[in-house]
Structure 1
Amino acid sequence: MTPTADPEPAVSAGEDPRRYARLLTEVYDATMSGRRAPARPREVIGDSWRRVAGLGVDPDHGGPADALGAGELERLRRESGLEEILPDLTGSLRSVLADSENLLVVADSGGRVLWRSGAPSVLDRADRLGFVEGADWAEDSVGTNAIGTALVSRSAVQIFSAEHYVRSHHAWTCASSPIQDPRTGRVIGLVDVSGPASSVHPTTLALIDAVSRLAEAQLREKHRLSLDTLRSVAAPMLARCDRPALAVDGHGWVAAVASVPVRSRVMLPTDVAAGQLWVPSLGVCDVEPLPGGWMVRPADPADTVVGGESVPTTLRIDVSDTARTLVEVQSRFGRWSHEATPRHAEILFLLAVHRDGRTAAELAADLFGDHGRAITVRAEMSRLRKAFAGVVLAQPYRIDPAAVVELVLPDDRARLLPQSSAPGVRPFRVAQ
């Protein structure tokens, strides 16, 4: 599918939904048949259509697989991290959507529908599409739709009528906005409003995005309260501590420090346990449990019971998932993982394929096509090196030559970091 070079349609869905729907249908039919379209689809739509076509989603018969059973659905609800904020998340929207034709949906980070509510008539229509609790609405399951496409793009998305990849969804419009866990930066789910295409409104996307930001603010407040509780427990212990120490929660967020430079977070191993382990930016540390967290104390070299290097031995960069990049560091002191930002994912990928290193100017060209943006690169590298102290080195910027790098790529190289427009990444999107 190759979109035409013609300009975007001037009319918007809010101005004339019926006319816009007809134009989108013409664009869709022409694109699917390989003919010249009267206009380009929006960039987010064109990118999604190419992705799901590569995944083999059938535009004429695509649909979700059978929904999960009640037991598995309840497990996903508990593990989603959304249950505790669900009343606040959906309460205001229910009042806005009362007596409307729209459906309110909350999905998890994989695009699985966890909860939904709406009028019986719209619920019945959704049932016929398989848009039910427990159904998978990720892109690779049902093609371009607000839930799946918002998860891939990590941004709020509204999909109208024939912008959906599967024809049976063309009668619908939907708007979704992801919710990030402020403790980890990972997307834990999203909120979605869906309904008949005729119900589209230009303010719906802004409303959904505002609700998602409110949910994130509530999660931040809950996190702040948990750190306050940990601080009250740890403060007396730190006051008696005869060496530098930090009290951190299970995600490494710092509640209190003693004789240690102030910092907001340290990276803890995924399988953290009491004993000695390697912590980025601190080195080998003694770790002891606290109620709601851990006491972390940089170890005295004379007391270190685990020999060997104090740097990680393996760096695993997993870019196989189009929605996120996971980085795992493993050493003899433990294992920890980190979800990289889109920009840091690009940088880590580039450093992994250029093991001899890149200067700031070279990375600027790789990322932006402009050698002159070295200052921007240095700022990003400063943040990246704080997260991967001892792993990512400078002069030139490179991954420690002593580390083993495992780069996990998608099966379809054309889907490598699909949201990236970096000139240095594009040449590696080669079909296998």
Structure 2
Amino acid sequence: MSFPPLDTALPAGVDAREHARLLRKVHEASLCGRPAPVRLRPVIEDSWQRMRRFGIDPDGAPPPRVTRLDELHTYRSSSPIAEVLPLIRRSLVSVADEADHIMLVTDAAGQILWRDGSHRMRSAGDRVGLVEGAFWNEGSTGTNAIGTALVVGRPVQVYSAEHFVRQLHTLTCACAPIHDPRDGRLLGAIDVTGPVNTIHPSTLALVHAVAQLAEAHLQSIHHTHLERLRAVAAPLLAGLGGRAMVVDEAGWTAAVVNMEPVRRVLLPTLRDTGTAWLPALGECSLEPLPGGWLVRPLDVEGDTPSTVTLDLSGSSPTVSVAGPSGQWSHRLTPRHAELLLLLAVHRRGRTGVQLSQDVFGDGGRVVTVRAELSRVRRHLGGIIESRPYRFVEDVRVRVDYPENPADLLPGSLAPEIRRLRNAVPDGTPMVALGDDVAT
């Protein structure tokens, strides 16, 4: 998945101290209801809107909640990031030490699991609650790089008075989320924080590069697991006469026999042997294996799925498909969530040019749109048609919206998604009817 260029906090050629003074004027004007001298960056402006809705006090925010030490050890041991922590430390700790910064690694809830870096900055972190076990999501500490990056799902740099809480105006921080390469699930984030006078645009690029390196290493670990599963599956598949495949617990294919290989299948929620309709395969039997599943297409005529549910009510967008033999769910990337929402809202369909305009504000990105929709259609089987792109007519599409319209894909900068957010007054519940969003 591709993101727009990194949105650094310091505009090119701008003096950092002057910019900090300007941001303090913007902060003061915004809190007093006066016109601000300049507009905030969209990612910060959106975050501040959430802070007002949360009721965060910019002058008297309570210290972040800190988990007990025994619970912290449990969170650390269960985090997949623990497998790549040595790599993260080798990449960032020495840099953080030399730059008078601290390096923080969090889980998906914004809880700081590990902290390293300069002694002076760790002492400063102690004073504002940047300690191991503390929760630094937006709801706890206001706009900050950790919490905001976890909300929008992409790298974020926050400088000085871009922090909603005044106590944090002395800091600059850059954070990048880490996703599970198997299914796109948010695992946590890497953050580098330092004194406000140490801001540098390249810090965000560095943190982002390390997060990508961590994801690549997790991908390598996954490939090793598939190789082991392939070795275990080989004698089992050799004794089967029909079509069959062995996949891991996330649906990635380890081995196939008597059929064309499928890179990944979307598995339903099963704990034991059962049958289910799967995209591209139809009705299948599924049997559990150590570390995966044996999948055997049944070669029977089955009904197509009847209901597609796009769940945008939480922090991780998902799509669920219900058919004659049960239901399965798939976690969506931010881009795929945008595209499916647009197709759900515009049931009569959208051309590639229209979707390019909807997502990028530019009708010339059709090739990118087609590539993303090709990936979506592989996951969803025959549910989406092309020319124009749309859900098939006999499938019922339901969208579960967040309670507040401002929480609709909050990390999306797509013009049409921003229009949908603004189509309903703040605080009014959202529902989807026909080709638009109605109250």
* Shorter-normalised TM range: 0.7 to 0.9
Give the CA deviation at 1:145: 0.7
Instruction: Tell me which residue corresponds to 1:31.
Output: 30
Mapping for residues 62-101 of structure 1, pairs under 5 Å: 62-98=61-97, 101=100
Query: How much identity, in percent, do the aligned residues show?
Result: 48
Indicate conservation of the 8 Å contact 1:180/1:188, yes or no.
yes
Change in CA separation of 1:142 and 1:319 when aligned onto 2, cut-off 3 Å = same
Instruction: Tell me which residue corresponds to 2:210.
Output: 211
Instruction: Tell me which residue corresponds to 2:399.
Output: 407
Give the CA deviation at 1:388: 0.8
Encode CA deviations 1:63-116: one digit per residue, 9 max, x unaligned: 454212233323332333111221222233222233653221100112121111
Instruction: Tell me which residue corresponds to 1:318.
Output: 311
Q: How many residues align?
A: 415
Distance 1:365 1:43 in 2: 19
Give the CA deviation at 1:187: 2.2
Indicate conservation of the 8 Å contact 2:64/2:136, yes or no.
no
Give the CA deviation at 1:166: 0.7
Indicate conservation of the 8 Å contact 2:94/2:117, yes or no.
no
82-91 or 326-335: bigger deviation: 326-335
Distance 1:139 1:97 in 2: 24
Describe the SS at the equivalent of 1:82.
helix
Distance 1:9 1:30 in 2: 21
Give the CA deviation at 1:373: 6.1
AA at the equivalent of 1:205: L
Indicate conservation of the 8 Å contact 1:356/1:398, yes or no.
yes
Distance 1:367 1:112 in 2: 32
Describe the SS at the equivalent of 2:338.
helix
Give the CA deviation at 1:33: 2.3
TM-score, normalized by length of structure 2? 0.85
Indicate conservation of the 8 Å contact 1:106/1:190, yes or no.
yes
AA at the equivalent of 1:325: P
Describe the SS at the equivalent of 1:68.
coil
Instruction: Tell me which residue corresponds to 1:188.
Output: 187
Is 1:417 the equivalent of 2:416? no
Instruction: Tell me which residue corresponds to 1:391.
Output: 383
Give the CA deviation at 1:327: 1.8
* Structure 2 residue corresponding to 1:339, chosen from 331, 342, 352: 331
Give the CA deviation at 1:359: 4.9
* Structure 2 residue corresponding to 1:327, chosen from 319, 326, 346: 319
Instruction: Tell me which residue corresponds to 2:264.
Output: 265
Change in CA separation of 1:399 and 1:202 when aligned onto 2, cut-off 3 Å = closer
Give the CA deviation at 1:294: 1.4
Distance 1:360 1:159 in 2: 35
Change in CA separation of 1:10 and 1:373 when aligned onto 2, cut-off 3 Å = closer
Indicate conservation of the 8 Å contact 1:329/1:336, yes or no.
yes
Distance 1:196 1:97 in 2: 12
Indicate conservation of the 8 Å contact 1:271/1:336, yes or no.
no
Give the CA deviation at 1:340: 1.5
Describe the SS at the equivalent of 1:407.
strand
Is 1:47 the equivalent of 2:46? yes
Distance 1:214 1:424 in 2: 32
- Structure 2 residue runs of 5 or longer lacking an equivalent are 1-9, 429-439
Indicate conservation of the 8 Å contact 2:96/2:118, yes or no.
no
339-348 or 29-38: bigger deviation: 29-38
Indicate conservation of the 8 Å contact 1:271/1:335, yes or no.
no
Is 1:283 the equivalent of 2:276? no
Give the CA deviation at 1:253: 0.6
Give the CA deviation at 1:231: 1.1
Distance 1:204 1:210 in 2: 10
Distance 2:139 2:410 in 1: 14
AA at the equivalent of 1:84: E
Change in CA separation of 1:390 and 1:180 when aligned onto 2, cut-off 3 Å = same
Give the CA deviation at 1:335: 3.3
Give the CA deviation at 1:393: 3.8
